[in-house]
Chains A and B, each alone.
Chain A
Amino acid sequence: MGEKKKKIVKTIKVDLDKCNGCRACEVACSAFHAAPKYSSNNPARSRIRVIHEPLRDVYVPVYAGEYAKAECMGRDKYVIDGKEYDECSFCRASCPSRDLFKEPDSALPLKCDMCEDDPPQEKPLCVQWCLNDALTYEEREEEVEEEVKQEDVERGLDSMIDKYGLDKVMDTVTRMALSKKG
């Protein structure tokens, strides 16, 4: 059995219906992450952006997630309650397909860090500045078992054997094991 570990899961709940499109979240985020802290602000550097198209009533605050080297092969389009959202509206990636979540001067990717800081903030700044509660912060503790399941390893090896044959896989594993030891 694996070890049980406690993990804090930080969540920002985004209520699209409550967003009034003011972009205070962008202001607070970029000010917090300026160096020195709060010395400047610039929404283009913000790790949260409000994708908004007032005439279509589209208001989507999105957080910067992982950097993606390449564009997706296809694009998603969501229709929710009859309202169509643009491609990539809900995507958090900093990727080549759009200019979101990149430093405007260096083009380096940006990523939300939940304002983890010393001393810690009670909530991320964007949540603190969202007086309309479109953004709310939730923290919960989860117990996770950290274990490597035997069947997962077997499933992976099975497919390798299917493809390359048992002998080849065994040869390779043996050689790799020897060279690692050596």
Chain B
Amino acid sequence: MRYAETGFNLEIDLTRGSIERVESDPRLTELHLGGLGTNAKILWDRVPADVEPFSPDNLLIFATGLLCGTPAPGANRTIISTYSPQTLFMGYSMMGGFLAPELKYAGYDKVIFRGKSPNLVYLWINNDKVEIRDASHLRGKGAVETAELIRQELKEPKAQVAAIGLAGENRVYMASIEQGRSSASRLGLGAVMGDKGLKAIAVRGTKDVNVAKPAEFMQLCNEVLQYIKVRAPNLIPEVMPILAGLGSPQEMAHVDEKWHTENFMWGNARTRRKEFWTKEIEEKWKDALETVRTRLISCYNCPMKCGAIISAPGVSTYMMKCFTKLTYTMAAFVDDLDFGFKIAQRATEYGVDGFSMPQAMAFGFELKEAGILTEADFAGCPSDNEGKFYWLLDRIVRREGIGDVLANGTYWAAKQIGKGAEAYAHNVIKKHEQLPLKLGMLNPIYFLMYSTGEKMNITQIEGNFPQAPFSTMELREAFVKDWVQAPNDKFKKYVLDWEFRGERSMPFYPPVEACCEIVDWQEKMHHIDDALGLCAGLSSFPLKPPYHIHNLPTLISAATGIDMDEDGLTQIFNRNRTLVRAINVRRGLRRADEKPPEDHWKKRFPELEAQLLDGYYKFKGWNHEGIPTKESLHELGLDYVAEDFLQRGILTDNEGTPSKETSAETKKK
């Protein structure tokens, strides 16, 4: 018997319309756990390096994490992987909600799509009965609307549905995959789904998920719940309210947006409004939030309430979580939060990324003001801030006129527009729009995370280490006192020694080596979550979470029966992390791509930055170009990657000297 996992994947060929149930190799679970880890392995093995995202040969993988469907609280993530049309690299985006556990209960760990359907279809998985069904009547329907229509049509109110909206159908590069209260938004996975002619996937499962050591496993789950009970209401001082507790940022619960509205940039990630958060705004925004918010809601088997049901007057009800509440409002320079809730409703039905879409729109309007785009491009566009954003959203999602260009995201749109437009696509890393955050002093930890992260999204890399020093020694001591999550006492020392000013302040403190350890640890926790399907909100994202490096090995053992300790788990992380890098290196990723936006910090330190990157590459066992070395690949059991690199000339036998200096930046689309 397989424990925690089902041991079966569904292989769907959309070109031929074939469906196969294939047993997976249990050894892969021991090597990669599941979720992102095994997705990376499948992409490496089965999708050649030169396959375009919109090729029938590209795979679109819906994966459950290894612990999804077990009673582990918060193990509910669906990890979707493919090649991103935006970055051209491996795109992996995740969502919580209810889909992954349902898929496990139906008897599958992953659904792997290949090919392209000639007509719009959806997949219906009902335990052992799996069918590809016509979706032509759902063309153009909203993502939330589609899920409801499918449930009605199947007469199965308990089916879980993930769907794309119009944006995905039209292959808009920032199209998301929506699933009720959750969405896999980043990196344009919805566009790949649309390209494959797949409107939705609906799942119903009523089978058992087994665990290897039942009593021990349940005991560990109970400990996690008991810890949440104590930690969640005990907020960490000096940390902004939305991040002081547990869960993903508590945007739906909290009214206080002083930090975001005054520290994040408005418009096209340019303008800081330092005095924005007045008493009057606070009251207005409080009222706006409380008026539309019907209920705070959770994902499967999680006590945190990071999402909300939103019923704004005049638009249909939808669900929201996290930061989308602010992104449209701030990009459009609208001081009324009500606008944010209303436009987000339309955006959710269209199925678009709440970060990239507002930024692409603000970028478009900035180009118009600069005279690079013309009045003719915006013929018919209203002049008020709200109206013009609705107008452009509709154009982009339908790929009409200028919308067709902006639908490719700021990086590719700038290239296409030319005339100096590239300078306006200033907030991208690896061609992907970033948080609209512009700061003063270089933060060396964040420099590394921004540069080397392959999720292309800082919130999916940062987490367990404080974002800034605590102001007093008392606070620092209080913080480290019960910091059981820290890998070892060195990390406590970094927190105790870290100052706002003086010798032990940024950018030179923490020192390079410490920064490497801190970044590696935070990334490790995210990678483990993404393989297990645990929500980062209970693990890698908040400070002092219930899951950590010291209790996860036992949990994995109890669930799967696999012997696991911290070293073993670290080795798996290194293997999975390196494999993701290898996939991207094979597609052209090099050192030159690994840089935050020029204007991310005012005060930059080129020498230190080079040292940081050098130090981190070395720490990871990568060469000067960020390519994993033959030796480090061998240690991780990834000799097949080394062989491939040698064959392609990415590595040479003469270690450390890469033969090709190409960068994905310079590669033609």
Contact = CB atoms under 8 A, between A and B. Distances in A.
Interface string B144-188: 100010000000010000000000000000000000110000000
A131 to B, nearest CB: 4
Contacts of B300: 22-23
Interface string A40-75: 111111000000011111010000000000000000
B217 A38 contact: yes
- Among B157, B208, B215, chain A packs the most CB atoms within 10 A around the CB of B208
Contacts of B318: 55
A62 to B, nearest CB: 14
Interface stretch (B271-279, B301-309, B401-409): B301-309
- Among A34, A57, A131, chain B packs the most CB atoms within 10 A around the CB of A131
A172 B19 CA distance: 69
A54 B209 contact: no
Contact of B208 (A37, A42, A128): A42
A131 B208 contact: no
B329 interface: no
Given A36-B214, A59-B295, A41 B209 contact: yes
A131 B294 contact: no
B73 interface: yes
Contacts, number: 91
Contact of B305 (A37, A43, A132): A132
B319 interface: yes
Contacts of B410: none
Given A22-B300, A22-B302, A37 B309 contact: no
A42 B158 CA distance: 14
A41 B295 CA distance: 28
A41 B70 contact: yes
Nearest to A42: B208
Contacts of A22: 298-303
Contacts of B295: 20, 57, 59
B227 to A, nearest CB: 11
A23 B301 contact: yes
A39 B211 contact: yes
B214 A42 contact: no
Contacts of A90: none
Contacts of B207: 42, 44, 104
A34 B214 CA distance: 10
Contacts of B215: 37-38
A112 interface: no
Interface in B256-310: 294-303, 305, 309
A41 B71 contact: yes
Interface in A20-37: 20-24, 27-28, 31, 34, 36-37
Interface in B190-219: 205-211, 214-215, 217-218
Nearest to B105: A42
B209 A104 contact: no
Contacts of B70: 41
A55 B225 contact: no
B652 interface: no
A129 interface: yes
B504 interface: no
Contacts of A20: 295-298, 303, 305
Interface residues of A, number: 30
Contacts of A104: 206-207
B632 interface: no
A21 B297 contact: yes
Contact of B298 (A21, A34, A40, A129): A21
B181 A54 contact: yes
B71 A54 contact: no
A131 B309 CA distance: 20
Interface in B568-593: none
B557 interface: no
B522 interface: no
A131 B303 contact: yes
Contact of B319 (A34, A37, A54, A132): A54
B229 interface: yes
B105 A43 contact: yes
Given A20-B297, A22-B301, A31 B71 contact: yes
Contacts of B305: 20, 132
B9 interface: no
A28 B303 CA distance: 13
B119 interface: no
A123 to B, nearest CB: 13
B225 A131 contact: yes
Interface in B69-106: 69-71, 73, 98, 105
A54 B295 CA distance: 9
B229 A131 contact: yes
B24 interface: no
Nearest to A37: B214
Contact of A41 (B181, B208, B222): B208
Contacts of A45: 208
A55 B309 contact: yes
A54 B210 contact: no
B214 A27 contact: no
B209 A42 contact: yes
Interface in A130-172: 131-132
B431 to A, nearest CB: 35
B211 A55 contact: no
Contacts of B105: 42-44
B180 A54 contact: yes
Contacts of B309: 54-55, 57
Interface string B299-330: 11111010001010000111100000000000
Contacts of A54: 180-181, 297, 309, 319
A15 B165 CA distance: 35
B181 A27 contact: no
Contacts of A129: 225
B555 interface: no
Contacts of A53: 157
Q: Which 4 A-B pairs have the closest CB atoms?
A: A44-B206, A38-B214, A131-B303, A22-B298
Interface of A: 20-24, 27-28, 31, 34, 36-45, 53-57, 59, 104, 128-129, 131-132
13 contacts: A22-B298, A22-B300, A22-B302, A23-B301, A28-B71, A34-B208, A39-B210, A39-B214, A42-B105, A53-B157, A54-B297, A55-B319, A57-B311
Given A44-B207, A55-B144, A55-B309, 8 more contacts: A21-B298, A22-B301, A34-B214, A39-B211, A40-B211, A54-B309, A55-B316, A57-B317
